Amino acid sequence: MEFPILSSEDLRNITAAILAGKKEVLLSLDLGYSGKKEKVELYDQGIIYDKQFIEIPSVREDDKSCYLVLADVIEKVQYSSGGGVYKLVPTSFRPILQISGTSMHKQSFIERVDKDKLWGKVLDSGTGLGYTAIAASKSAKVITIEVDEMVSQLQKINPYSQELFDNDNIKLVEGDLVDEIKKFPNLEFNFIILDGGTPKSSGEFFSAKNYEQAFRVLKFGGKLYHYVPNYHVERGTDFAENISTTLKKIGFRKVERDKEGSYLIATK
């Protein structure tokens, strides 16, 4: 983590401390990741950090954002790229990724991967903030692939994503799964994790050809964990059921569905 990072609640607390006449506050500079807090000096307009006077921006009471502490300014972690708005949103635990107002939070899916204690070799895509890959890496070797360059930048900012870079059980690849998966030999992985956002923005990720490649590189008896967004539900489309049918046609012998968690688990 190159720069300290604060939440909007931290900034509101700093402002309240200044108004109360306090000279210092205790702050976590990594959104609670390390469990440590540091004393940070205050002045009438903000904080003194690394001998720099840094003004605190005005933050609305309903604002939920993360903020980077740069050399002489505090910057909201919210950026535009490719027609989308990317944002880190703090929670009571770890930040979640929000793209154009849509939360990429899939806690029940991550918990299932963690609970099942995957082993051997795992292929994961897309990485997102890396929480699924990190969960899988507790008991397996993981290759995780991310195609979105802005998401890759947010990984570097987010303290809770740092295991993507520090964990020897994780190999992070920047690229498109549709292309990268073709480079692997047959029967290479014990497990595959697919989480590709929405079909509209994911190219051929949800295509039958991509699933055929997943089937090819998955070992016999291996499992595919597939997060499936609720796509076109308002039109009466059961996207997950359509994918389940495709997977069975390709050769997966069993497909389990968790409607509440919005994911499939297919066994080869």
> What are the tens digits of pLDDT across the range 253-268?
999 999 999 999 999 9
pLDDT band at 233 (very low <50, low <70, confident <90, very high): low
Cα torsion 61, 65, 66, 72 to 10°: value is -60
81 within a domain of the structure (yes/no)? no
- What does the pLDDT average to over 44-54? 96
70 lies in the same domain as 140: no
pLDDT tens digit string along 129-141?
999 999 999 999 9
Percent of the chain with pLDDT over 70: 96
pLDDT band at 235 (very low <50, low <70, confident <90, very high): low
Residue 150 inside a domain? The answer is: yes
Percent residues over pLDDT 90 in the chain: 88
Looking from the CA of 227 toward its CB, the CA atoms found within 13 Å total 24
- pLDDT, tens digit, for every residue of 98-111? 998 888 878 999 99
Among 25, 56, 76, where does a domain finish? Answer: 76
Range of the domain at 42: 5-76
Q: Which tokens in the block code for residue 230? A: 């609720």
pLDDT in tens, 137-184: 999 999 999 999 999 999 999 999 999 999 999 999 999 999 999 999
Note whether residue 219 is domain-resident.
yes
As a whole number, mean pLDDT of residues 7-19 equals 98
Q: How many domains does the chain have?
A: 2
